Amino acid sequence: MAALASISLLGGCGLLSGGGSQAQQEITVGTTSEPSTLDPAASWDGSWELYRNVFQTLVAFPTGSSAPQPDAAQSCEFQDKSSRTFTCTLRKGMTFSDGATLDANAVKYSIDRIVKINVKAGPKGLLSSLDHVSVDNDLTVTFHLNKPDATFPYVLGAPAMSIVDPKAYPADRLRDDGGLTGSGPYTLDSYKAGDRAVLKKNDSYQGFAQPKNDGVTIRYFRDSKTMVDALKNKQIDVTYRGITADEVEDVRNEKAAGKPLELVENTGSEIRFLVFNPKDPEAANPAVRRAVAQLVDRDALVAKVYKGTAEPLYSMVPTGVNGHTTSFFDTFGSPSVDKAKQILRKAGITGPVPLTFWYTTDRYGSSMAAEFQELKRQLDASGLFRITLDSRPWKTYTEGFQAGEFPVFGRGWFPDFPDPDNFIAPFVGKENAVGTPYEPREITTQLIPQSREISDRGAASKQFERAQDILVDDVRLLPLWQGKLYIAASDDIAGGERAMDPQTVMQMWELHRKTSW
């Protein structure tokens, strides 16, 4: 039977907590993850945080779901056993925030423009199995795939597949007027880059979300300390993304001392890894990459920088996701200067290898600088490397790695959907999410296609285990750690434990004041 052969309409009623009246209330959320763009056709990054709350996708991931459920769609299903024809029927009477009709033509338009605009390192990479989209009638749209792909419904749940108003978004270029037109639980009332996004409850929204507040202001902070200070001073109600291990401990201690704070810990599937650029003569050498892999001490990195808020990661597929292995540990074992020296000497390298490691200053939290200082310390201490560190803000950082400017650079990854495919497929191929072409033929032509024919996703482990062995041999990607996710909030805020979807995207509508609901 095809994967997700049928997705039926998600039902159920919202539950009120606290017994109070449904009073007008708004929440202010702080984050260090500012959108890089307001146009879904351009983004394969943390901009999805905003998109999930102001746009709709055909299907999405409600809290607690491991498979996509209908949102803009009334129902979706594969039409064939080979998982190549996927049809969705939309809800009736849907509109965008500007009053325009949301119908099957708008869905086709939204997907087609992602492919046509084809932003470098953008979301087109998620649509590699899509051949074309057809409109059957006003409410029915069909996706015709060029190969079996049991993960395609999961792809449609990614915020990059947000449905946009054809009248407001050009077909062949990105929207650049600073506006946003969606159909999600909120409308974008105002937006100031680097400062805040003001969201208002969308009374015409139809979908699975049941907003428990009347609006959310998202404030964007450049550093987490300022953000946590704002929480303590009641300038914001909730923090999400980017608080450091020291700040997590600080909030814990303040809560224990009776301060009005709460801390919600979530099992995370965020991963952090290094990318080696084959355009750089040093990073292109497999011996150099393998020597780095032999030297990196993940335990020390996690202990010194993340203090229990992260765990060492030895494969690109994290713990808790089907297909996870410990391939890097199985191959390299514990960190060893002697083994790394042997790797380099065998390749004829005798002097310290100069490499520049790049990181971003404002995407993954304030710990990035400390993380890369620790990596530099470890590699320099071996005497085998001479590491230089450099950094940029995210917007220019993305331009740099997409242009091939960085020899080695750090990336974080929050899953598009909860499947092992999404921790391997996005990073391989000519066009991929890290902007450096990487085409291991066995993975791209055999293992991924084979796995996508398997409707029972739990039975695809064999392919992903083999793929990770190949990644270890190449060391083009070096996994470092897997993080936990923390929401710090004032103690009068509820819903934090339900606000994280399986893509680790904040569902703002779950947040509410305890006295108001």
So what's the pLDDT on residue 65?
77
Inform me whether the pLDDT recorded for 254 exceeds 50: yes
Q: How far apart are CA 226 and CA 118, in angstroms?
A: 37
Q: What are phi and psi of 48, to 5 degrees?
A: -60, -25
pLDDT band at 502 (very low <50, low <70, confident <90, very high): low
Q: How confident is the model at residue 455 (pLDDT cuts 50, 70, 90)?
A: confident
Sheet holding 196-201, edge to edge: 186-192, 196-201, 215-220, 27-31, 238-240, 485-490, 261-266
Amino acid at 475: V
For residue 387, give the nearest of 348, 345, 353, 340 by alpha carbon. 353
Q: Are 288 and 344 in contact (CB under 8 A)?
A: yes
pLDDT value at 18 more than 90: no
Question: In Å, how far are 12, 253, 264, 328, 505 from 217, measured between CA atoms?
Answer: 28, 27, 20, 42, 16
CB 481 within 8 A of CB 310: yes
Return the bridge partners of 412, or none.
Answer: 272
How far is C-alpha 276 from the geometric centre of its chain's CA atoms?
Answer: 20
Give mean pLDDT, residues 340-358.
Answer: 97
Residue 206 has a CB neighbour count (10 Å cut-off) of 18
Could you give the 3-state DSSP secondary structure of residue 255? helix
Listed range (63-67, 297-301, 477-481) with the worst mean pLDDT: 63-67
The residue length of the chain stands at 517
Of residues 211 and 6, more confidence is placed in 211
Instruction: Compute the distance between CA of residue 112 and CA of residue 94 in angstroms, rounded to an integer.
Output: 20
Does the pLDDT at position 446 exceed 70? yes
Q: By C-alpha distance, which of 107, 105, 149 is closest to 127?
A: 149
The pLDDT of residue 443 is above 90? yes
| pLDDT band, residue 348 (cuts 50/70/90) | very high
Q: In the block, which residue shows the tokens 């009736």?
A: 92
Give the model's confidence band at 120: pLDDT under 50 very low, under 70 low, under 90 confident, else very high: confident
The answer on pLDDT for 9 being more than 70 is no
Q: Can you give the three-state secondary structure of 217-247, one letter per residue? A: EEEECCCHHHHHHHHHCCCCCEEECCCCHHH
- pLDDT band, residue 24 (cuts 50/70/90): low
Give the H/E segment covering residue 169. Answer: none
* 265, 316, 380, 447 from 67: Cα distances, Å: 22, 21, 45, 22
| Range in 17-26, 100-109, 305-314, 381-390 the model is least confident about | 17-26
Residue 308 has a pLDDT of 82
User: How far is Cα of residue 217 from the mean position of the Cα atoms in its chain?
Assistant: 21
Per-residue confidence (pLDDT) for residue 1, from 0 to 100: 36
pLDDT in tens, 353-409: 999 999 999 888 778 999 999 999 999 999 999 999 999 998 899 999 999 999 999
Give the span between the Cα atoms of 49 and 487, in whole angstroms.
14
CA angle 91, 94, 98 (to 5 degrees): 160
Whether the pLDDT of residue 152 is over 60: the answer is yes
Q: Give me 212's structure tokens.
A: 């428990």
**pLDDT tens track for 58-102:** 999 888 777 889 999 999 999 988 899 999 999 999 999 999 999
pTM > 0.85: yes or no: no
Query: For residues 512 and 29, is the Cβ–Cβ distance under 8 A?
Result: no
Q: Are strands 27-31 and 215-220 parallel, antiparallel or unpaired?
A: parallel
Local structure of residue 352 (DSSP, 8 states): P
The region of weakest confidence among 29-33, 63-67, 296-300, 365-369 is 63-67
Q: Which helix (H) or strand (E) holds 299?
A: helix 298-301
Give percent of the chain above pLDDT 90.
Answer: 74
Alpha-carbon gap, residue 265 to 6, rounded angstroms: 33
Mean pLDDT of the chain: 90
Distances (CA, A) of 471 to 285, 324, 328, 335: 15, 13, 9, 19
End-to-end CA distance of the chain: 43
How do beta strands 238-240 and 271-276 pair? unpaired
Instruction: Give the β-pairing of 69-70 and 59-60.
Output: antiparallel
Distance CA 443, CA 497 (A): 37
User: How much of the chain exceeds pLDDT 70, in percent?
Assistant: 94
Q: What is the model's pLDDT at position 508?
A: 95
Distance CA 107, CA 163 (A): 6
Residues 6+ away with beta carbon under 8 Å from 193: 34
Q: Are residues 58 and 161 in contact, defined by beta-carbon separation less than 8 angstroms?
A: yes
CA 357, 361, 362, 366 torsion: positive or negative? positive
Neighbours of 360 (CB within 10 A): 21
Tokens coding 499: 């606000």
Confidence of residue 421 (pLDDT cuts 50, 70, 90): very high
Whose CA is closest to 494, among 474, 512, 516? 512
Inter-CA distances, 63 with 67, 127, 208, 479, 510, Å: 11, 25, 11, 27, 9
Q: How far from 380 is each of 40, 226, 290, 458, CA to CA, in Å?
A: 41, 32, 16, 42
